[in-house]
Structure 1
Amino acid sequence: MWEQLEKYRNNFLQLEIKDVLKPGSINLLQNTEWKEATERRDKCKSHPHGCPARSTYFEDRAQLAYGWFALPKLMKEMDSDVCLTHWQAIVSLTEFLLNPLNAQRAITEIDIVRKVKNAFMRMRLQIHREEYREVETYLKIFNILSRNLNGAENIANRKCLRIEFYKIIENRVPLQADLAAEILRNLTGKPKVLGIVMRDPDSLSSAAGLFMRDPCLPIYPRHLWHHLCHMLELNPERGIELGLFEFLHSRILNRLPFFWCMATKAFALLLRCPEGQRRFDAVDGVKLLFEVFQDKGKKPHQLLPRQKVMSWEFVVLALLNGLHSKRALWRSREFTLLTCHVGRLMSTETNPRLQLYCLKTLRQLAVMPCIKRYVIGNWLEDVRKLFCLNADAECARDALLDFLRRDLADST
């Protein structure tokens, strides 16, 4: 009877190995395996079952209805000596100012930049002790106000604020450094405010000092790169005097992480002045950029993940800006594949700016007669059939075709 009962368990196993083991032995082995499996499962550390942390959303915000009278109430509570009331006011203020109409009203009517600046400087000068995360919240308010033209102008006119932003980035305070870099980028991203920032000769030197402080740092904040490039567009000579040419050249030469992105863009902007062109020829910049193009043929395991060039826009821009001297043009004659790399990028990429740079670079390279004949014999038909992505690229294509065809007509 007991043997018959054993056969009812593990029916599949009983049918498969009935001639090898008895039903009782099969069930015993199954029990042993099941016990070992459950023991291994019990050894795994599970997440402690506890109550989730209590939300502080309403405790960190002021009690008010977001309407016409909200801004005066927040300004009054921001001047409170009670730390909790002050904290709730500035946190609510960051959400209230996200509406551009509220931000414009606060800037023009209440002079919010001056009031937040005073509170921010008192915290930075350690006149008041930081109870919560007031400095980070002040930076969020400045970040929102800097998106407005009037707010950006008011912030740029206060040099003490810009000095503190640079100090925060230099100290690499988590979260605060990224916010400070984004504020500086918002300021210099507006032409009118950029002129205000460039009036101070210490602005570019302070930004360059952040990079020169640790040249081997693999990655810098992206907003800080944009802030530097905005200023180099107006004054590349000053950037070369501060040593940025050697700094950027070393990053490209050593293929530091993401060298092809903002570092190459800043390097291209330095070549827009005579001194930058002279130094570009001195370091054989044409060969340097040609070697960057040649890295496309390397196997993936020979390059680090962040060394692989993901966008060729600024590499072609650097080549375009570096071909304004006779020495660079004569040097380009020695690299036949350089024209091929630019031609392939012209026809395969979907970036309008990259296509425009490639067409202008081919026009610049074609000044040399040997390269001109090479372009006519190999790329004339491709240029003629090229689909342009915007009007500027179409104008550049027509100018290149006119130059090449006119040369053909003159030679015949």
Structure 2
Amino acid sequence: MWEQLNKYRNHFLQHEIKDVLTPSSINSLQNKEWQSFMEKRNRCKSFPQHCTKSSTYFEDRAQLAYGWFALPKLMREMDSDDNLTHWRAIYSLSEFLLNPLNAQRAILEMEIVRKLKNAFMRLCLKFHKEEHEEMKIYLKIFNIISRNLNGAEQIANRKCLMIEFYKIAGSKESEKQDLAAEILRNLTGQPKVLGIVIKDEENLGYIANIFKQDPCRPYYPADLWHHLCHMLELAPQLGIDLGFFELLHSRIENRLPLFWEMNSKAFALLLRCEEGQRRFDKLDVIQLIYEVFEEVYVDKSKKLPGQFVENYEYLILILMDGLHSKRALWRIREFTMLTCHVARRMASKRTTNPRIQLYGLKTLRNMGTMPCVRRYIIGNWLTEICEMKCLDAEAECARDALLDWLRRDIADSSS
């Protein structure tokens, strides 16, 4: 009877090895294996159970219903001498002002820029001790306000704020540095405010000091590069006087990480003045750009991260802005393959950036000023230019103008 009962356990094993072992022996072996497995499992230490931390959501926010009366209440509590009340007010304010209507009302009716400036400067000058993360929240609020034209104009007219933003942008605290750089980018991204910022030449001097602190520093915040380019677009001569030409040229020459991005764009903007063109010819930047293009044949494994060029947009922009003097045009005759590199990046079917097409077409037009280069373009790239699919209307107009100019040369030579 017991042997019959043992057959009901471990049906698969009973069926497979019924002629080798008895049912009771099979079950006995299975019990031993199961016990040894459980002993090993019990010896494992379980992960200690910790209670989850309580949420600080309500501790960091003011007690109010977000409505029409919320903004006046937050502005009153922001002036409170109690540190916790003040912290809750500015923290809630950083969320409340994300609504553009609330931000506009706070700027025009509540004079929020003046009040924030006073509190921010007291913290910067160490009159008040930072108990929470007040500096970070102030920067977040200024970042939101700088997206508004009226707020950006009020910030740009307060020199003490601009000085502190440049100090923070040059610091080593990454999060605060990124916020300060974004504020500066927002200010100069609006033409009216850019005029206010560039009127004070010391602002460009401050950002020059940031870049000169460590010329070999591999990375800067992208917003800081955009801020620099906004200013150099209007004042390239001032940028050259402050030493940006040599600085940016050395970064390209030494192939610092991502030198082909915003670094090259800022360098190209410096060429839009007489002194920039003179230095472009003196340092033979054409050969430097040719060497960068030729490095496409170098194995990626032989380069450091960030040195391999992924986007030739701004390198072509350097050629477009630099090929204006007679010396540069005579020099371009010695680099026939440079014409091929530009045309290949421009006419490639894999190109998804319309600016590469536009800059490439304008660069070929400048290169074609030399008759021998123009003949080379007609003989080797005329068909590719005709069949090129333009990605926007501006590039299409530039292509039609270039084709009309090249075909006119063919007609003149055949008559």
Verify same fold: TM over 0.5. yes
Please, which runs of 5 or more residues in structure 1 have no aligned partner? none
Shift of 1:42: 6.3
Matching residue's letter, 1:226: H
Shift of 1:234: 0.7
Percent identity of paired positions between Structure 1 and Structure 2 = 64
Please, which runs of 5 or more residues in structure 2 have no aligned partner? none
User: Which stretch of the first structure deviates more once superposed, 401-410 or 377-386?
Assistant: 377-386
CA distance in 2, matches of 1:220, 1:41: 53
Shift of 1:12: 8.8
CA distance in 2, matches of 1:115, 1:255: 45
CA distance in 2, matches of 1:400, 1:28: 88
CA distance in 2, matches of 1:132, 1:88: 10
CA distance in 1, matches of 2:230, 2:66: 37
User: Which stretch of the first structure deviates more once superposed, 303-312 or 392-401?
Assistant: 303-312
Q: Which residue of 2 aligns with 1:354?
A: 356
Q: How do 1:267-286 residues align onto structure 2 when only pairs under 5 Å count?
A: 267-286=267-286
Q: Which residue of 1 aligns with 2:404?
A: 402
1:342 equivalent to 2:348? Answer: no
Q: Which residue of 1 aligns with 2:381?
A: 379
Q: Which residue of 1 aligns with 2:199?
A: 199
Q: Which residue of 1 aligns with 2:131?
A: 131
Shift of 1:397: 0.5
Shift of 1:305: 2.5
Q: How do 1:209-248 residues align onto structure 2 when only pairs under 5 Å count?
A: 209-248=209-248
Q: Which residue of 2 aligns with 1:393?
A: 395
Alpha carbons of 1:43 and 1:378: their partners in 2 closer, same or farther (altered >3 Å)? farther
Residue aligned with 1:233, SS = helix
Shift of 1:256: 0.7
1:159-216 deviation per Cα after TM superposition (whole angstroms, max 9, x unaligned): 0001001111222224111101100000011110001001111000100110011111
Shift of 1:157: 0.2
Alpha carbons of 1:408 and 1:70: their partners in 2 closer, same or farther (altered >3 Å)? same
Shift of 1:108: 0.6
User: Which stretch of the first structure deviates more once superposed, 162-171 or 398-407?
Assistant: 162-171
CA distance in 2, matches of 1:293, 1:324: 21
CA distance in 1, matches of 2:151, 2:105: 11
Q: How do 1:28-67 residues align onto structure 2 when only pairs under 5 Å count?
A: 46=47, 48-67=48-67
1:214-272 deviation per Cα after TM superposition (whole angstroms, max 9, x unaligned): 11111111111111111000111111111111111111111111111110011101111
CA distance in 2, matches of 1:41, 1:245: 70
User: Which stretch of the first structure deviates more once superposed, 174-183 or 204-213?
Assistant: 174-183
Q: Which residue of 1 aligns with 2:82?
A: 82
CA distance in 1, matches of 2:38, 2:233: 67
Runs of 4+ with >4 A deviation: 5-18, 27-46
Residue aligned with 2:234, SS = coil
Shift of 1:54: 1.0
CA distance in 2, matches of 1:152, 1:345: 39
1:68-124 deviation per Cα after TM superposition (whole angstroms, max 9, x unaligned): 111101011111111111111101101110000110011011111000110100111
CA distance in 2, matches of 1:154, 1:410: 59
Alpha carbons of 1:378 and 1:133: their partners in 2 closer, same or farther (altered >3 Å)? same
Alpha carbons of 1:270 and 1:10: their partners in 2 closer, same or farther (altered >3 Å)? farther
CA distance in 1, matches of 2:178, 2:116: 19
Q: Which residue of 2 aligns with 1:363?
A: 365
Q: Which residue of 2 aligns with 1:73?
A: 73
CA distance in 1, matches of 2:42, 2:227: 54
Shift of 1:9: 10
TM-score normalised by L of structure 1: 0.91
Residue aligned with 2:170, SS = helix
TM-score normalised by L of structure 2: 0.91
